[in-house]
Structure 1
């Protein structure tokens, strides 16, 4: 993902970095992965100055990106198959207030056996109430790694990041997803072949 995004926006100065987490697992209230994501945003500011930052992550990294979105430099979040805790377990709901003012794209495979796609839908629905710039795409019959429709997922990610960071035009499906009221804009199907028309 980082290589693809870096190549797509190299001329505009996009730099991508991979965060290597200090700990395994979320670790309860410590939320070490979110701390590491926030550190990465701090580091981007230290290295590059006042630049917009898009946090992107898969699985637990998606949750870390969503949680660290409140950092002042972050203008957008790309959460792929985010791992979210089960609801109704006595723990508080995953917060969404930090997503206000950010562009947020969640992508989830409908057959993800590791992270429940319904939980990412519910989080997106709560976030959309306070922030119209939230959308979510479903990748039909794909699993956790989003490998069955890898090219389509990468093309969607590239289009989103280009629009969020550099003001490029969003594709029609992304425009429609942001504009549509819930649940439509939060259950947008990612069409097979998405991205081919963008490269013409």
Structure 2
């Protein structure tokens, strides 16, 4: 039996599509099992995808949102299965909407994937939520892109210290980098869900329409190390 392709949930733009947001869910270091629609890592990204879609519909630009569901749950080095899935999803976007800009939003393993595939020519930037960025994670793919990293101070699944180290390295190649630290928040983005969503939407609208409602103005304007430890 041939292997099943990744799955994509799609929220279409109102009117003509002018940009696409690709949302990537989390996973585990190892895991070859399928990702069913009810998998928690997948489910937790649906509210964010819907919020992005609502914001896009209110905005003057026609924003389509796609949520990828991977073939396998794990990263599975050296195969790095979800990276291939994300490349597949980007190819589908290019086929459906040639030449349109893309924003990547990922959580945990999905954030790591987003940071890896940001070198796709259509990608403007990456919003990395509680990213899994182990020591030595490469930063070359975010060269020339905007990067927003958001991490909870009580995260025990992925390391805030490692995402800070990644942000420091990425600052040398990315167009701009900012990093927020959400106090008293863990990995699942549940305690202060509205903050995660607000920052994700603001970043996306800033890239696609130049209007974040002021949410990120000070973050982008900050200089020195404080821009990578912005408290929320």
Q: Please confirm whether the aligned pair reaches a TM-score higher than 0.5, indicating the same fold.
A: yes
Distance apart, 1:169 and its partner CA: 4.3
Q: What is residue 118 of structure 2 aligned with on the other side?
A: 69
Tell me, in whole angstroms, the C-alpha distance in 2 between the residues paired with 1:170 and 1:183.
24
Q: What is residue 194 of structure 1 aligned with on the other side?
A: none
Q: What is residue 4 of structure 1 aligned with on the other side?
A: 51
Q: What is residue 56 of structure 1 aligned with on the other side?
A: 105
Distance apart, 1:130 and its partner CA: 2.1
Match of 1:110 among 148, 153, 156: 153
Question: Relative to 1, partners in 2 of residues 1:169 and 1:24: Cα closer, same or farther, differing over 3 Å?
Answer: closer
Report if aligned partners of 1:110, 1:142 keep a CA contact under 8 Å in 2: yes
Structure with greater strand percent: 2
Runs of 4+ with >6 A deviation: none
Tell me, in whole angstroms, the C-alpha distance in 2 between the residues paired with 1:133 and 1:38.
23
Distance apart, 1:180 and its partner CA: 2.2
1:137 aligns with 2:184: no
Q: Where does structure 1 lack aligned partners over 5 or more consecutive residues?
A: 88-92, 191-200
Report if aligned partners of 1:35, 1:68 keep a CA contact under 8 Å in 2: no
Q: What is residue 100 of structure 1 aligned with on the other side?
A: 143
Report if aligned partners of 1:55, 1:77 keep a CA contact under 8 Å in 2: yes
Distance apart, 1:110 and its partner CA: 0.4
Match of 2:93 among 44, 52, 55: 44
Distance apart, 1:177 and its partner CA: 1.9
Structure with greater helix percent: 1
Q: Which one is further off, 161-170 or 13-22? A: 161-170
Alignment: residue pair count: 183
Tell me, in whole angstroms, the C-alpha distance in 2 between the residues paired with 1:169 and 1:150.
18
CA distances 1:9-67 after superposition (whole Å, capped 9, x unpaired): 11521111111111221111322112211222221111112111011111101111111
Q: Where does structure 2 lack aligned partners over 5 or more consecutive residues?
A: 1-47
Question: Relative to 1, partners in 2 of residues 1:97 and 1:23: Cα closer, same or farther, differing over 3 Å?
Answer: same
